[in-house]
Structure 1
Amino acid sequence: MPGARLTQQDRERIAAGLADKLSYGEIARRLDRPTSTITREITRNGGPTDYRPQQAHQATIQRARRGTPVPPRADTPPGSAMEEEFLERALRAGMPRIAAQVHLDLTLSEDGRRTAAELTRRLNVSPASISVAVNFLAQQGFVRRERDPRRRRDIYVVDDDAWYNAIMTSERQTLESARATMAAAETYGLDSPVGQRLAKTAAYLERVSLDVMESAERWRTLLR
């Protein structure tokens, strides 16, 4: 039943769904549960890559015996299906879990700004984990750093251009791959089967990347 607690069998089915790379929504439909229930279950028990059904079930039993419910996570407040879906999609796209949490917290903050100390406190993770997450997001173009000269601390910012920057960063990396692939094609010889295959791949990657960058630039005004 949708309102009943998850059983050991339910958790085994969740693990099987994760192994089959099903979305949280699909797993929820197969178990006749809300997507928010499945998302909370997975995120509080290791995430999609480290979820273990037996350990998750035992942890739930122990919490019930202690009578102490799990405190709500900063990235998934109770009843916020939209935020849970946001986090799920980021994880499915390959973003590391803490990086996804940082990105979500910054995106939903009033002014899109947090210090490292604020992120550490809100997400209940170590400063080192925040540093790794922010470095990843900055490399991908999702956040930028600003320096507070008065307090001598960094402030992490997600602004209106975040997705534009992320897209452009990704496509520049793809262009680099296209050029490396073309260099490899020339090494093998453009008249050889391998060289021809690599040259076609390089041309495709280059054309798509340039098209995406042109489109991102053309529609950038929508972010302003």
Structure 2
Amino acid sequence: MNATERTPADLLRSALAADPGRPLVTFYDDATGERVELSVATFANWVAKTANLLQGDLAAGPGDRVALLLPAHWQTAVWLMACASVGTVADVGGNPAAADVVVSGPDTVEAARACRGERVAMALRPLGGRFPQPPEGFADYAVEVPGQADVFAPFAPAEPEEPALIVAGAEYTAAEVVERARRDAPGLDLTGPGSRLLSALPYDTWEGLSAGLYAPLAAGGSVVLCRNLDRLGEEALAKRIESERVTATAR
């Protein structure tokens, strides 16, 4: 444990310094056949670009609420860490009418229109593809994020004791996210570098967020994040566990 790691953004910086080339998030969608693997460095680059979009173009800052109307997905993980980097509150599945910014997947656009602040839509297409026709009144994430800077510098540092995450009606500070993730890691059989957890849990609970992002990051491990895993047979799942060198599962 590093005493300087007080926020999720601190955990990502430590992972980047330790081994930028190792896998961090591997994503499968068994409804589309998509597979995406992001190293620590690639994931951190997406986070930096998204944080620059959030802080710069969307004018969000510490304490602002960002409603994330998104499923368990590698791009959702990026947004969670971008919010942690800027110091905004990531409100997973939160009320868009009470948010300063809303980030919507393709299935929640109508609900997201209740946000009177900035609105971002994500197509969640393979390879981070854009909408063929972006929803009216929304910025298309896939259009806006590539041109953002690869290095992020916050206007104000994210404070460990400030609210950072809301999920399933519970609010957590940045420090609490880190502390809970560290406590969760042993129970998920995340024992350190080389640990690789396959998670099929949704992101609408703390348990899903912890297994699907925070605990692997805190443990120095990685996650194989699976969406629509119920479409995969047991034999195919066993092959995935073997080929991805999975050491533990959360389903």
Task: Give the shorter-chain TM-score range.
Answer: under 0.3
Say which one has the larger Rg. 1
The structure with more helix, counted as a fraction of residues = 1
**TM-score by structure 1 length?**
0.26
The structure with more strand, counted as a fraction of residues = 2
**TM-score by structure 2 length?**
0.24
